Every structure is written in C-alpha cells, then in structure tokens.
C-alpha cells in the first residue's frame, strides 16, 4: 500500500508538470529524496532549555532534454543510450525541516544550464518558472499536517551558477541580476501562495524583506497579482513572520531567527553568538549556561538585527539580497501544537510519567482522604525516609524523561515514524549517499553541450550505481501546455500588423517615386538632377 500511494503521488506530480511544460516537447524528470534524519535545530533554544528536535529530508528535482550535440542519434536506441543522450537544463533542491510545531520548506538551490535556448524547438516562454511553482506546490501539499503551520522560505542572491559548474561559460545562459532575481522569485511563489487547496483550512501570507529597502521600495518586487487583492487583506506584505513561526515568541532575538545552511543571516547569527557570555562557538544551537540570559550585547531587538543586515557583505557593496517567506497558518490549530505552546511558556511545570505512577501507589496505600492530602503536601524527602526498600534488586532499562526536552518523546517518535509515503522521490537515498551524489554534481563540467551531456550521463549512472534502481530511472514527459506557442505567435502577429502599417506609410513615398516612366533608381536620380538644373536656369535668366 505504501508503494502504491508513493507511485500515485509521483504520477500526480508528473501529470501536473505535463500541463505546464511546452506542448509537444519531450522532457525527462528525475526526482531524488532522502529519509528524514535528525539535524540541527532551526531556532536556538532559550536559556536553560534544549532546542527542538528537528528532522530534515532533502529533495532534488532535475529537468533534462535531448542533447543538442546528439540530435543525429538513431531513434531505436536502448534505454541506457537514450538516457545518455540527455542534458540537464534545470535543477532545484528543497530541504524539508519538520518539528512538532512547524514544517519548513527551504529552497536551498536552483540553477539552469542555458541549453534549453539552443534547442530547435525552443519556445519563447521558458518552462522553468511554472515547473518551480508546480513542484513547490505539490511538495507543500504532501507535507502539510493538520493543524500545524507550514512555511516556504528562501533567500534570493544572484550568482552565475549554483548547481552546474561551468554553465555560465558557454554564453547561452541568462543570468538575472539582484533586482530581477527577487522579482522572479516573487512571481514564482505567488501561485504557491494562491493554491486553491489551502483556501479553506489555511490562511496564507507572503512576507518580503530586502535589507536596506523601506516599505515603498520593497513593494516594487511584489507580483502584479497583489494589486487585485483587497486593501485590508493583502497577500504580500513587507516584513518578516518570525514572531509567528518561532516556537517561543517571548524568547531573546537569537531564538527567533532560523538558522539555514549557507544563509547570510545564519553567518551573522554565528558572529553575534560570540557576544554571549559563557557560550561556546562550537555549540551555537544550545543555550548559554544559567549565568547568561541569551541576549546579544550589540543587538537587542529583531528590528535592529534586520537594520544591521543591510551593512553585511552579502547585502552591501552594490549587492542586494531578498528574504521571502510564505506562511500557511491553519485556521484550527492542532491539540498537540497547543500543548507544546503551553510547555514552551512554562517549562518548569513539566513532569515525568513515572512520578505520577509512584504518587498513585502512595495514594492507594492510605486509609482516608485526609491522610492522602497530608502525604500529597509532604516533601519528597520525608516520603523517601518513611519507605524502606527490601528484597532483590531487579535492573530495568533507563527511560528518557519527557522534561529533558521542550518536545515530548511521543512527539519525536511521531515525527520520525509518520513519514508520509506521498511526496517521496522515485529514488530514496540515505543522507550519506545523497551528500555523495550532491557533491559529485558540484564537481562536474557543464561548459559546453558535449561535456554537459557527458556530465549528465555520469551523474545519472552514479545515482543508479548507489541505489540499484530499475534499468532506466526517470520519467519521460511530453509537455501539453499549448498556451506557450499561441501566445508567442499572437505577439509576433501583432508586431507584424504594426510593422505592416509602417511599411504602408513607406510605400506611399515609393508610389510617388514610381510615377516616373523609367526605373525606380534611375527616375529618382533623374528627378533630383532635373530639379537641380531648373534652379540654375532661373538664376541665369534673372541675371
């Protein structure tokens, strides 16, 4: 049943991608994912508390086409040869962080090779944006948990290449600058925000922060669809939702900012944590000792943190970085999330189930209700003195107390065991194997069509060797979106009509010139020479 649900979920993804890809074009999709493994907490814990137990799973989706250098290959090739004739054109990596109170989808990397524009059947509308929106929407739907908020987070920073080394060297790759990249991501995430399946059970909001930009300067990055929203219910807003998604909003500022890998604000957090007394740089996720209060010396509030981010190296010197969040807040929170919220606010009231069992045994040994109240008010030291232990000692396995963490052991087991079958990749790797193939992709060469085709074949063969899947993994998809072609043709036809009108205006001059009996060029020259000769005799006659 698990495999059936997983295969059904993948087929749903493929059918969605077919609808957004260019009609009549052949694509190949490869989807990798990992099992949820324990990772460092996204939010630092308040003083005298432990961080939330967090699990992370990675997803890597690639889109490939037939290589331009292998267009002359025979059509009756085997599956392995067909796979070897493909070249990557786009890839996106998403990290899914799961805790007992929050699900976070962090877009780690997204990159293209530029070979899509070199294909003979390339359309004017690139499929990269609708593919990214569709994949993130599908992944958010499969990772939604009833009553638990979900966040899609990313930071937009323009670079020449992220996942495909050398792809910027062949010249066909279109690299966006900082402003264009932030606008591109806002337009890409807007369909995810307006997903129709989340209208009833979730309240959706998008938040954007560009360090160094005020409210009016930030609104220029919002997608055009935000203009149709009601004035009192704007989907896109300037600011951050950290106070809404943090596990403990009353904690110090360092406990409210998430710590993602390769994130500019994460590096800034590491530098600010050095200001905390009695803190160790190697354990930035753990709170300081009881002597410290978990506060920075230079930064006291979140507003100061974002103001100083504008002077960071990634955000200054002419560079611009955008932080974007999509927050899906459930209309009815789950009971577990409410219990965890109470536990975070009052951690001292947590207790162990074994203590309740011992109390029940003591209560049952009393004869009257008055004696029970006296024993309940008595201190633990007096109770231990009255009771004498006797008999053989029977060893037992140690039990983990629920008070040792902000999240109960039951919640941690639920996160690790309830891994949904929906939303998994075609190949599921362990974390070490995924890191191996991920590092291999960053060492390959995509500087031209031949080397890119060879690198694609090498990477796919490495994944097949590690996971031992079927003979030919991946999914052949034929695009069915016919709107891309007519849209481009309609625009071109309109341009032709306008140019035709302009040509007609020019033809009036040519028709006037064509009234001469001789050829067009000769008549033009004769008319000019005749006019010049007429002017001269007039001057001579007057004299």
Q: Tell me, what DSSP letter sits at residue 239? A: S
| CA-wise closest residue to 68 among 477, 473, 451, 475 | 451
| CA-wise closest residue to 510 among 524, 496, 500, 499 | 524
Catalytic status, residue 472: no
Which tokens go with 376?
């309940």
Report the 10 Å Cβ neighbour count for 361: 10
166: left (phi > 0), else alpha (psi -120 to 50), else beta?
left
> Beta partners for 477?
27
First to last CA, the chain: 111
Which tokens go with 37?
């493994």
Chain centroid to Cα 71, Å, comes to 34
Q: Reduced to 3 states, what is the DSSP secondary structure of residue 112?
A: strand
Which tokens go with 256?
């409210």
Strands 103-112 and 150-156: parallel
Q: How far apart are CA 308 and CA 93, in angstroms?
A: 29
Residue of 160, 190, 232, 263 with catalytic role: 263
DSSP secondary structure string for all residues of 473-505 = -SEEEE--B-SHHHHHHHHHHHHHHHHHHHHHH
The C-alpha torsion from 196 through 199 and 203 to 208, rounded to 10°, is: 20
**Any idea which residues carry the catalytic annotation?**
263
């Amino acid at each position: 049943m698990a495999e059936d649900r997983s295969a059904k979920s993948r087929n749903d993804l493929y059918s969605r991608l077919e609808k957004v890809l260019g009609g009549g074009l052949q694509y190949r999709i490869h989807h990798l994912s990992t099992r949820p493994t324990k990772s460092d907490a996204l939010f630092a814990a308040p003083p005298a508390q432990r961080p939330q137990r967090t699990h992370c799973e990675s997803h890597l989706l690639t889109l490939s086409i037939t290589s331009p250098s292998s267009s002359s290959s025979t059509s009756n090739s085997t599956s392995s040869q067909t796979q070897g004739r493909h070249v990557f054109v786009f890839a996106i990596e998403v990290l899914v962080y799961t805790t007992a109170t929050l699900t976070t989808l962090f877009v780690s990397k997204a990159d293209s090779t530029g070979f899509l524009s070199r294909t003979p059947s390339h359309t004017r509308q690139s499929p990269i944006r609708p593919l990214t929106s569709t994949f993130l929407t599908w992944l958010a739907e499969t990772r939604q948990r009833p009553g638990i908020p979900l966040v899609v987070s990313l930071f937009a920073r323009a670079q020449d290449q992220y996942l495909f080394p050398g792809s910027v060297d062949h010249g066909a790759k279109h690299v966006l600058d900082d402003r264009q990249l932030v606008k591109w991501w806002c337009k890409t995430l807007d369909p995810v925000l307006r997903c129709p399946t989340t209208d009833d059970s979730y309240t959706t909001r998008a938040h954007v922060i560009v360090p160094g930009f005020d409210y009016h300067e930030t609104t220029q990055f919002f997608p055009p669809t935000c203009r149709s929203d009601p004035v009192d219910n704007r989907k896109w807003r300037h600011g951050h939702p950290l106070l809404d998604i943090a596990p403990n909003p009353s904690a110090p500022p360092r406990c409210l900012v998430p710590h993602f890998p390769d994130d500019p604000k994460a590096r800034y957090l590491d530098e600010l944590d050095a200001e905390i007394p009695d803190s160790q740089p190697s354990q930035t996720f753990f709170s300081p000792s009881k002597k410290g209060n978990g506060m920075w010396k230079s930064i006291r509030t979140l507003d100061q943190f974002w103001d100083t981010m504008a002077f960071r190296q990634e955000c200054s010197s002419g560079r611009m970085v955008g932080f974007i969040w999509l927050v899906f807040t459930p209309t009815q929170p789950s009971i577990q999330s409410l219990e965890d919220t109470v536990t975070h606010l009052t951690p001292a009231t947590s207790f162990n189930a074994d203590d309740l069992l011992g109390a029940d045994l003591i209560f049952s040994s009393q004869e009257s209700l008055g004696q029970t109240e006296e024993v309940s008010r008595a201190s633990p030291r007096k109770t231990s003195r009255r009771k004498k232990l006797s008999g053989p000692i029977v060893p037992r396995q140690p039990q983990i107390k629920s008070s040792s963490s902000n999240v109960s052991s039951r919640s941690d087991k639920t996160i690790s065991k309830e891994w949904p079958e929906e939303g998994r990749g075609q190949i599921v790797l362990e974390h070490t194997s995924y890191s191996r193939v991920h590092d291999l992709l960053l060492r390959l060469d995509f500087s031209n069509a031949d080397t890119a085709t060879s690198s694609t074949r090498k990477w796919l063969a490495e994944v097949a060797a590690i996971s031992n899947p079927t003979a030919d993994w991946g999914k052949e998809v034929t695009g069915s979106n016919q709107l891309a072609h007519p849209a481009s043709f309609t625009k071109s036809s309109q341009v032709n009509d306008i140019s035709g009108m302009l040509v007609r205006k020019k033809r009036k001059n040519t028709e006037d010139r064509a009234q001469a009996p001789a050829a067009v060029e000769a008549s033009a020259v004769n008319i000019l020479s005749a006019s010049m000769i007429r002017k001269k005799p007039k001057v001579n006659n007057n004299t």
